[in-house]
Chains A and B, each alone.
Chain A
Amino acid sequence: MLKVKIKDIEFSSPIIAASGTFGYGDEVSKLVDLSKIGCVITKSITYENRDGNDHPRIHESSSGMLNSIGLANVGVVNFCKEKLPKLNNIKTKFIISIAGSTFEEYQSVLKTIESTNGEHVGYEINVSCPNVKAGGMEFGINHEMIFDLVSELRKLTNKLLIVKLSPNVTDIEKIAASSERAGADAISAINTLQGLAIDSKSGNFLLSTKFGGLSGPAIKPVALAKVFKVYNNVKIPIIGMGGISSVSDIVEFLRVGSTMVQIGTVNYRDPSLISKLYDQMLNFMNENNINKITDLTGDYK
């Protein structure tokens, strides 16, 4: 009933865990029924390990969260040695998020992972992280650079290639179309919106980097608009995300064109929320006589 396919990969559910909100996947395996999660997307992996930005790098805001974690991760070599063997044993599919500052870094990360025996079904290319000084965001705002990057990465793998897009652009649909032409199998939309927080009394910025990425329920209307625009400009599936916290939110994202959805910020409140949403989604479909979840994709009037 909830099964969906992207290319030749079948997922048990369209509801998946967003990168950076579920660790590397193995940390939550004792807490969550992973069989009820369509897929886990790992934290973004770069070539070298990174401690990320200085403290403070998370600021909780109204109905959302502002973060500038800065791609803190163990680096690809440690990831393949320590994390990948554990991920190979988790009870659901997983996708590896990769990030970089240069074309070469993205290629090196992907090549290194491809040379191991990972059971992952694909890669999410993070070209939209706003929280690193030199980083993916440069790729994420330029449709020609996206085309070149995705074309190069496409040559290196037959696994799913998903491009995660930034909302901080004028024409997200143009960048999505470039990704599709370059060989991407799906689009993830959207990453965080650029935001800033400042203390009204002291005048101090509340993130060490001043700017951060806003996520959570506060950005849902923006995310819905971006997904809808992308849906009307590409044929490849869209994995919608941005403030989803309930079954009605999931259905809204499906109706504007998503094939799957990612749950992100609310995982910080309750990592088991996704498995609860799986049960509630089944109830919703039974109550509304919907046989296939895919019937909801693009079902707007």
Chain B
Amino acid sequence: MTKVTKSKIEVIWSMRKWPKEYIKWRLVTAYPNGWKFALSHPIIFVKDLWKFLTWCQMIDNDIEI
């Protein structure tokens, strides 16, 4: 079992400096219409965000920085 060392709040906090252009690009990467898809499908977006934050908690174990 992979050990989680950061809470989801800490993961979000670590992303606080992400510029809006970058977040917009990430949404375009994830969804066919970018932020428009995210806004029109809020439940899907929240579920995806939760999965992504969980993944960040796990992948931090692989990143030796």
B33 contact from A24, A27, A51, A266, Cβ within 8 A = A51
Residues 87-131 of A at the B interface (beta carbon under 8 Å): none
Interface size on B, residues (CB 8 A): 32
Q: What are 23 contact pairs spanning A and B, CB under 8 A?
A: A27-B21, A28-B19, A28-B22, A30-B19, A31-B17, A31-B19, A31-B22, A51-B32, A55-B44, A56-B48, A57-B32, A60-B52, A63-B58, A72-B32, A217-B59, A245-B62, A245-B63, A246-B62, A246-B65, A269-B59, A270-B14, A271-B22, A273-B63
Q: Does A141 contact B (CB under 8 A)?
A: no
A217 contact from B21, B52, B62, B65, Cβ within 8 A = B62
Q: Which residues of A contact B30 (CB under 8 A)?
A: 55, 57-58
Q: Known: A31-B19, A55-B31. Contact between A269 and B60, CB under 8 A?
A: yes
Q: Which residues of A contact B7 (CB under 8 A)?
A: none
B29 contact from A54, A69, A248, Cβ within 8 A = A69
Give the distance to chain B from A182, nearest Cβ to Cβ, in Å: 31
What's the Cα separation between A216 and B28 when bound, in Å? 20
The chain B residues found within 8 Å of chain A, CB to CB, are 2, 14, 17-19, 21-22, 24-26, 28-33, 37, 41, 44, 48, 51-52, 54-56, 58-60, 62-65
Residues 26-60 of A at the B interface (beta carbon under 8 Å): 26-28, 30-31, 51-58, 60
Give the distance to chain B from A241, nearest Cβ to Cβ, in Å: 15
Q: Does A62 contact B (CB under 8 A)?
A: yes
Give the distance to chain A from B10, nearest Cβ to Cβ, in Å: 13
Q: Known: A51-B32, A58-B29, A60-B54. Contact between A27 and B63, CB under 8 A?
A: no
What's the Cα separation between A277 and B63 when bound, in Å? 10
Given A24-B25, A56-B48, output 5 extra A-B contacts at Cβ < 8 Å: A26-B21, A27-B21, A27-B24, A246-B62, A246-B63
Q: Which residues of B contact A273 (CB under 8 A)?
A: 63, 65
Give the distance to chain B from A88, nearest Cβ to Cβ, in Å: 17
Q: Which residues of B contact A248 (CB under 8 A)?
A: 64
Q: Does A280 contact B (CB under 8 A)?
A: yes
Q: Does A276 contact B (CB under 8 A)?
A: yes
Q: Is the CB–CB distance between B21 and A277 below 8 Å?
A: no
Q: Is the CB–CB distance between B29 and A63 below 8 Å?
A: no
Q: Is the interface of A mostly helix, strand, loop or mixed?
A: loop
Q: Is the CB–CB distance between A23 and B25 below 8 Å?
A: yes
Q: Which residues of B contact A245 (CB under 8 A)?
A: 59, 62-64
Give the distance to chain B from A107, nearest Cβ to Cβ, in Å: 27
Residue of A nearest to B53 (CB): A60
Q: Is the CB–CB distance between B60 and A72 below 8 Å?
A: no
Q: Which residues of B contact A55 (CB under 8 A)?
A: 30-32, 37, 41, 44
Residue of B nearest to A220 (CB): B62
What's the Cα separation between A24 and B22 when bound, in Å? 10
Residue of A nearest to B57 (CB): A269
Q: Which residues of B contact A261 (CB under 8 A)?
A: none
What's the Cα separation between A30 and B17 when bound, in Å? 9
Q: Which residues of A contact B52 (CB under 8 A)?
A: 60
Q: Does A207 contact B (CB under 8 A)?
A: no
Q: Which residues of B contact A268 (CB under 8 A)?
A: 26
Q: Is the CB–CB distance between A65 and B55 below 8 Å?
A: yes
